[in-house]
Structure 1
Amino acid sequence: MTDTQRSLRRPLLGAALSAAALGLCGLSPTLLAAGKRRVSVREEEIEPGRYRDNPQARAFIDEMVARHGFDRGMLQDWFGQAVYSATVVRLIMPPTTTGRKSWRTYRSRFIEPIRINAGVRFWQDNRDTLRRAESEFGVPASVIVGIIGVETIYGRDMGTFRVLDSLSTLAFDYPDTPNREARSTLFRNQLADYLLWCRDTRTDVYSVLGSYAGAIGIPQFMPTSLREYAIDYDNNGHIDLRNSPTDAIGSVARFLQLHGWEAGRPVAWRIADDAGSLGVAAAAADGEPWPTRTLNQLTRAGLRVDEPINLAREGETGVLVVDLPTPDQPTEYLLGLRNFYVLTRYNRSFFYALAVYQLGEAVKAAMA
């Protein structure tokens, strides 16, 4: 490899890129949705030819031939043209300085006029499709709109990295971190599903652009989710999450339904702001995204719910305490229900799940 080859830089198509949410401990590998660490990159540093004779790539090719019947020569050609992206490696690394999490700062990035106004236009343009998805899958239009708005601002920021390059880099050259082996395995699986999807759909393997972690299209599905949950919702004979808002809407709704969305049920309940309720919430906040307690358990401990609900009927409802810290401010708390948990299947972050819900509600209010 010459010095010239090692220092090649490829222009990126845009500066604001969606980042995949890669807190993989506990996150289903079926989808790594965009966590929105926004970055500004004007050019991508690449190294061509790195995977032409790479031992890990050769082993991966052997596996794809044996397990999935791929043509060896075709795979060798693909990886001969795949490039290592130093930019992807740099962006996948955790921040060198860890600041305290701030719910109010995070929220302000998504619940704001530009995204809300774009959401209104998206809802208006796709009203019939959203109504159909809500009827067929039981997922409110506002939730679908919230996810797509948080992910890509309704298709505006879908990423500008070649997915083949991103996934090859992360599968074979994941940076030296404590969880490197697990992440490399995860991205090898995503790479396998990407190649299978390209073969099955006759998609040019070089043509697909996405986030630096390989998330694709308007809803930022990773390849495994693309294969498992995406649907041809516009009935034109093929699935296209990059150019079809209709397919994106149907696929998001189906993803949530298959992960257990409960039609007609709330996402979260407000907790009263008295000291006793907040104290119980603080003690019960364990960071787990699934409902581990019943409402009765918390109310018997002294927590009050600031919602007009029937406590007798809802007493055995499973809930989780959602903690929302902001530096130098009192921590905010909510009770998350089953549907809150389902939103964390898209992205495990409590901040993400609540931002999706609140953005959708803000767009719905603006539609009124």
Structure 2
Amino acid sequence: MPMSRCLVAVLAVCAFVAPWTMAHAETHPGEAALVREVAADTGKDPAKLTALLDGAQKQQSILDAISRPAESKPWKDYRPIFVTPERIQDGIAFYRAHRALIDATAKKYDVAPQYLIAILGVETRYGHITGKYKVLDALVTLAFYYPPRAKFFRKELKTLLELPDSKLAGPLDTLTGSYAGAQGWGQFMPSSIKAYAVDADHDGHIDLHDSLPDILASVANYFHQHGWKPGGEVAAQAQAQPDASVLKYRAKPPRRTLEQYEALGYAPLQRMKPDTAANLLTLQSEHGPQHWFTFQNFYVITRYNRSPLYAMAVRQIADAIAHGVDDPAAVEAAP
């Protein structure tokens, strides 16, 4: 091509590209790269993806909230927030109202029904507090403006943008949830919706806000897929000898046996098989250190939320619900 014709062609391309680039300058840092990735992976329209992200707002309140999580508190301060007579009483009432569905779901996925209820109780007070933040605002804020965990939240934002309509409770720009971008009664992040959410009512749509069958089955499937052991213990109190070794909690599948712990100065307060694998968790209660053996099912709960305080709150609420569902007087929190 002659040089003059080549120059004309280049100028023509620039004339087309430059206005597009100027008109679509990034609203959020890193937005354009994310749009390119999602469009390449899914074939979705880049202009529509850009419009969605342009409409999301950075929220300072989200940045403030994530800097002070409840899980940073000691157990003596964390427990009263979640393990309350009101939450247990509400859980018992919820179980009685939906017992057939809850028991059927628990049986299908081989999990304990009281733990499905306890998760919903800790997460959202049985659907009453699901969060009022726009999910796009939350994930955009944390993906683009929160460096400590930007990698994690960018991945969640990408997953959200890639989810098919059948796995969304509504249009992307209308979804609401927690300050971290979790949705529904069970507070599922986009990656959990993608991997574990279930269309249990078979309407061709997963709704974790308004379909109780979908909500319960999704939590149950999460537990099942992470290795819940049917009939297995979750946690048991331990007694420490005065000369017991100081042991740090291991956020890993339990490997050390109770027999090995006894050699280190810790013994269960109830009769258990010596070869049972466990971790040791020490909590700071109002009356001093409190020791617990935690088992595989406890570890599964920490896959839902990594905090052992969260898992212990779920365990205590679940036990109280199981004891109280057939006993109207049993509404007090477990010790």
The answer for the alignment partner of 2:208 in structure 1 is 241
Normalising by structure 1, we get a TM-score of 0.77
Greater relative contact order, per chain length (Cα 8 Å cut-off, separation 6+): 1
Q: Distance in 2 between matches of 1:364 and 1:237?
A: 33
Cα distance, 1:251 vs. partner?
A: 0.8
The answer for the alignment partner of 2:285 in structure 1 is 326
Residue 83 of structure 1 aligns to a residue whose secondary structure is coil
Find the partner of 1:166 among 138, 145, 157: 138
The answer for the alignment partner of 1:193 in structure 2 is 159
* Paired residue type of 2:151: T
Residue 173 of structure 2 aligns to a residue whose secondary structure is coil
Q: Distance in 2 between matches of 1:90 and 1:101?
A: 16
Partners of 1:322 and 1:334 within 8 A in 2: yes
Find the partner of 1:344 among 302, 305, 321: 302
Residue 155 of structure 2 aligns to a residue whose secondary structure is helix
* Paired residue type of 2:99: R
* Paired residue type of 2:223: L
Partners of 2:71 and 2:78 within 8 A in 1: no
Find the partner of 1:363 among 292, 316, 321: 321
The answer for the alignment partner of 1:93 in structure 2 is 67
Q: Distance in 1 between matches of 2:205 and 2:229?
A: 28
Normalising by structure 2, we get a TM-score of 0.84
Find the partner of 1:75 among 49, 52, 69: 49
Cα distance, 1:53 vs. partner?
A: 3.8
Residue 121 of structure 1 aligns to a residue whose secondary structure is helix
Task: Tell me whether 1:265 sits opposite 2:265 in the alignment.
Answer: no
The answer for the alignment partner of 2:30 in structure 1 is 56
Cα distance, 1:125 vs. partner?
A: 2.0
User: Structure 1's 105 and 53: CA in aligned 2 closer, same or farther, altered over 3 A?
Assistant: closer
Partners of 2:87 and 2:121 within 8 A in 1: yes
Superposed counterparts of 1:267-346, under 5 Å: 267-272=234-239, 276=241, 279-280=243-244, 283-309=246-272, 314-326=273-285, 329-346=287-304
User: Structure 1's 142 and 271: CA in aligned 2 closer, same or farther, altered over 3 A?
Assistant: same
* Paired residue type of 2:144: F
Cα distance, 1:134 vs. partner?
A: 1.9
Using the aligned pairs only, state the percent identity. 33
5+ residue gaps, structure 1, are: 1-48, 175-179
Q: Distance in 2 between matches of 1:129 and 1:267?
A: 23
Partners of 1:319 and 1:336 within 8 A in 2: yes
Residue 292 of structure 2 aligns to a residue whose secondary structure is strand
Cα distance, 1:119 vs. partner?
A: 0.7
Q: Distance in 1 between matches of 2:71 and 2:142?
A: 25
Find the partner of 2:104 among 132, 136, 142: 132
What RMSD over aligned residues (CA atoms) do the two structures have, in Å?
A: 2.4
| 1:49-103: CA deviation from partner (whole Å, max 9, x where unpaired) | 99854441011111111222111111122122122212212222247xx998432
User: Structure 1's 201 and 315: CA in aligned 2 closer, same or farther, altered over 3 A?
Assistant: closer
User: Structure 1's 85 and 151: CA in aligned 2 closer, same or farther, altered over 3 A?
Assistant: same
Residue 253 of structure 2 aligns to a residue whose secondary structure is coil
* Paired residue type of 1:140: A
Partners of 2:258 and 2:267 within 8 A in 1: no
Residue 142 of structure 2 aligns to a residue whose secondary structure is helix
5+ residue gaps, structure 2, are: 1-22, 327-335
Partners of 1:171 and 1:191 within 8 A in 2: yes
Higher-Rg structure is 2
* Paired residue type of 2:63: V
Partners of 1:287 and 1:323 within 8 A in 2: no
Q: Distance in 1 between matches of 2:205 and 2:112?
A: 25
Cα distance, 1:200 vs. partner?
A: 4.9
Cα distance, 1:211 vs. partner?
A: 0.3
Q: Distance in 1 between matches of 2:200 and 2:126?
A: 17
Superposed counterparts of 1:157-236, under 5 Å: 157-174=129-146, 180=147, 183-197=149-163, 199-201=165-167, 203-236=170-203
Cα distance, 1:350 vs. partner?
A: 1.4
| 1:238-297: CA deviation from partner (whole Å, max 9, x where unpaired) | 11101122211111111011101001111112213xx51x653x5233343431411221
User: Structure 1's 323 and 196: CA in aligned 2 closer, same or farther, altered over 3 A?
Assistant: same
* Paired residue type of 1:342: V
- 333-342 or 70-79, larger mean C-alpha shift: 70-79
Q: Distance in 2 between matches of 1:163 and 1:289?
A: 30
The answer for the alignment partner of 2:118 in structure 1 is 146
